Amino acid sequence: MGYIFKKLAQKLILEREKHTSGTTNPIEDKNVFLNKMTHSALNLYERNCDIKNFSKLVLSDPENDSHNRIMDELFASGVKDPFDKSKLTQLSDNKRFLRDLGLD
């Protein structure tokens, strides 16, 4: 897979250089379909890498619940709980907030 990625990257670099130089080669213009396929393949490869990296990050330690401790510390220091229904009600009745959102 790495070899394919290198070839695709080289092709895209050459394509970018061709467009920035201002000159075009009519023979290379015949490969428009191939160029679009190369760009699509590179996007799919990058998406696949992003999904793998995100999954590895999320599933790195499922037993880690430090986020709960961090949230408790924030609430104890005076940060408003965004899930508190009374705060949501106050916010929904806030005329300035609604005006800023363009909903008033």
Same domain, 48 and 74: no
pLDDT in tens, 71-80: 899 989 988 8
73 within a domain of the structure (yes/no): yes
Same domain, 50 and 77: no
45 within a domain of the structure (yes/no): yes
Axis crossing angle, helix 32-58 with helix 2-21, rounded to the nearest 10: 130
Averaged pLDDT, 32-55: 84
Per-residue pLDDT band for 50 (boundaries 50, 70, 90) equals very high
pLDDT in tens, 75-99: 899 888 877 888 778 777 888 888 8
Per-residue pLDDT band for 20 (boundaries 50, 70, 90) equals low
Per-residue pLDDT band for 21 (boundaries 50, 70, 90) equals low
